[in-house]
Amino acid sequence: MRADPLSTGLPVLLVEDDRLFAATLRLGLEAAGLQVYLAPSAEDALALLDTVAVRLAIIDEGLPGCSGVEFAARLRERHGLPFIFLTACNSSACVERAIGEGALAFLVKPVDVTQLLPMISTALARSAELADLRANRDQLQSALDQERDISIATGIVMARMNIDHQAAFELLRRAARSSRRKLAEVARELVVSRGTALQHETCMP
């Protein structure tokens, strides 16, 4: 079970150019236990992110110079940071645009802290779920890649040594043990070296 993020001094970034509104939100969020970094523009926020680490960004859609949507795209590309949108627009087009940019929550101004806090908890929980899914997907892909390399390497040994599958696999496994490496590493090395050899062969006149 995950700990309540709002009770751990969680660092968040608030990107809002309305100073009074930003100060009000900041006070409320800090009173709830969050550590709040404030930036009045996208450029200030990006500069701040070079020096501090935060877990979530709360972004005003109507930022000066660079819109919240544009900033969100840059934020996702450079930092992979989950974010919530604050906006004065409540049309379906605005909602679709925010969700399309990856917003985990969307609030229409005026917004107060009592509305924002549950959204932060929900966004962080969803972000953690997505991170777990990505990690599981990457682990699965890595396992599939390793199995493929082992199969290909076994086939290469079978062809080179004119032996059956089991004997070729045992040779690979002994090679891995003798070199104190994982079987997948030995297989990958053989697959890569075979690919390099084929490239040389196809380039020969």
Using alpha carbons, list the distances in angstroms from residue 181 to 39, 82, 153, 173, 189.
49, 38, 15, 10, 11
What confidence tens digit (pLDDT) does each residue in 64-86 have? Answer: 777 777 787 788 777 778 888 88
Q: Provide the domain count of the chain.
A: 2
Let me know if residue 145 belongs to a domain: yes
Let me know if residue 40 belongs to a domain: yes
Let me know if residue 62 belongs to a domain: yes
Q: Are residues 90 and 151 in the same domain?
A: no
- CA–CA dist 54, 34 (Å, integer): 11
What confidence tens digit (pLDDT) does each residue in 153-183 have? Answer: 888 888 888 888 888 888 888 989 888 989 8
Q: Are residues 101 and 44 in the same domain?
A: yes
Q: What is the mean pLDDT of residues 115-140?
A: 78
Let me know if residue 168 belongs to a domain: yes
Task: Write out the residue range of the structural domain in which residue 146 sits.
Answer: 141-203
Higher pLDDT residue, 104 or 205?
Answer: 104
Q: Are residues 84 and 9 in the same domain?
A: yes
Q: Are residues 16 and 98 in the same domain?
A: yes
What confidence tens digit (pLDDT) does each residue in 5-57 have? Answer: 565 688 999 999 899 999 999 999 999 999 999 999 888 998 999 999 898 89
Let me know if residue 117 belongs to a domain: no
- CA–CA dist 118, 122 (Å, integer): 6
Q: Are residues 18 and 96 in the same domain?
A: yes
Residue 205: its pLDDT value, please?
38
Residue 48: its pLDDT value, please?
92
Q: Are residues 81 and 172 in the same domain?
A: no
Percentage, residues of the chain above pLDDT 90: 15
Q: Are residues 89 and 147 in the same domain?
A: no
How many beta carbons lie within 10 A of that of residue 160, not counting itself?
Answer: 12
Let me know if residue 17 belongs to a domain: yes
Q: Are residues 100 and 152 in the same domain?
A: no
Residue 27: its pLDDT value, please?
94
Let me know if residue 121 belongs to a domain: no
Residue 147: its pLDDT value, please?
84
Residue 95: its pLDDT value, please?
67
Residue 12: its pLDDT value, please?
93
